[in-house]
Amino acid sequence: MSDISIAMATFNGARFIDKQLQSLAAQTYLPAQLVIADDGSQDETLAKVAEFRASAPFSISIHQNRTRLGYRSNFMAAADRCTSPLIAFCDQDDVWRPDKLQRVRSAFNHPEVMLVQHNARVVNAFGEYHADLMPPDSPPAIRLAMTGSPWEFPLGFTMAFRSVLLAFSPLQSRSIDPYHDGEILAHDQWIAFLAWVFGSHVYLPDLLADYRIHDTNTFGLKTRPRSNLLRFLHLAIEDRSQIYGRLALAATANASILDHIKSQADASAYLRRRAADAVGAWTDLAELYRIRRRVYSTPQLFQRLSALGRLISAGAYGASTRWSFGTKSLIRDILLGCLGGPCITQMSFPLSDRDSSLRALASRQMRDGRSAISRDMAPAPHVRSLDPLSLCNPRRLEPSRPDIL
């Protein structure tokens, strides 16, 4: 009997959903169930699903939301209704390869594995190949718990995970998306965050799905009209104090969530122990970002130098630190922070991504008179430099972005 469920979120997906449903029925390892959460479709999406359900080789449950949830909560609404030990997220407009579930299922060959991710083909609206989603040199085959960059996460349609992680779904509302002001972590960000704390992450390089990019994607890869040189210059002189403040907020929220889990009586001793181990790491990371923000934002040179000295003393740029900013970041912080930070801030040079949302968050921090918040009260397989240029995650938004860390 199958032990994997599919969680699909739908919204006005009639244009492409037929091919996706057909690809699910063609799986060599069929799912135990398909759970669909519809977010108020006004087209033929539900009619197409109902027609498919009449002859589907697996159980299909359809749930219509009374009010719009948005894709972040809608995917989790579908996942929370799944009953299998393993769950795979599913977009409404992609196409799965016949052996996707079989390959993904076989990778859960150890209880330590919490999440499995695969590669995919990026295609256009007509299914024509554009590129591979992930470059050949990344990520590693196995990523152990609490290794690698804490901000990286796979796209939801490429992942499957253990349903034990859903026990913490109520805590998702306390999270902060470091990419969008005022938003909680999206379904894939949230599950990846938990999986990365509680176990290992397996990557399959196989191209197991066609990831369709079209004009009505709820979320998709971005194209950049500017040249790589202009983008490089833009990133080089943007006001980073706002970016570091935002990352400090997100890291603090993660620490608060894990602090709650470590005291959650109904969680297993194993999960509570893992959460306790991770609280300190995220707390330390938040503090490093608060200090780094001052390298760019404080008005006096001696204050900026003092903040930089604190980072160096804490090992923030060294290889021995769990989440090192890296030596390139040290040079950047000296030149653009200590020496040029106030000038860049005064010029109000626009941020490279999420301009308005980042400014709104920075303004809120200044108004509240604090650098971080805790919503509930009262810190490798491959080593990446933890520079906030990765705020715009190359895995999620723009795989072609040049690495300038």
Name the pLDDT band for 237 (thresholds 50, 70, 90).
low
Q: What percentage of the chain carries pLDDT values higher than 90?
A: 63
pLDDT given at position 178: 85
Confidence of residue 190 (pLDDT cuts 50, 70, 90): very high
Please list, in sequence order, all residues whose beta carbon lies within 8 angstroms of the beta carbon of residue 336, skipping any fewer than 6 positions away. 236, 237, 240, 296, 344
Can you give the pTM of this predicted structure? Answer: 0.81
pLDDT of 1 reads 82
Q: Which residues contact 158 (CB under 8 A, 6 or more apart)?
A: 117, 118, 119, 120, 133, 208, 209
Enclosing H/E stretch for 63: strand 59-64
Separation CA 222–CA 231 (nearest Å): 14
Q: What are the residue ranges spanned by the domains of the chain?
A: 4-212, 228-391
Q: Per-residue confidence at 400, pLDDT binned at 50, 70, 90?
A: very low
What is residue 302's three-state secondary structure?
helix
Which of residues 399 and 120 earns the better pLDDT score?
120
Give CA–CA dist 26/13, Å, rounded: 20
Output Rg (C-alpha) for the chain, integer angstroms: 22
Give the per-residue pLDDT at 294.
Answer: 94
Tell me the average pLDDT across 353-374. 36
Inform me whether the pLDDT recorded for 396 exceeds 70. Answer: no
Query: What integer pLDDT is reported at residue 86 of this predicted model?
Result: 98
> Between residues 236 and 326, which one has the greater pLDDT?
326
The pLDDT score that the predictor gives to residue 373 is: 28
Handedness of CA 130, 192, 186, 65 (dihedral sign): positive
Rounded to an integer, the average pLDDT of 184-189 is 95
* Domain at 4-212, CATH class: alpha beta
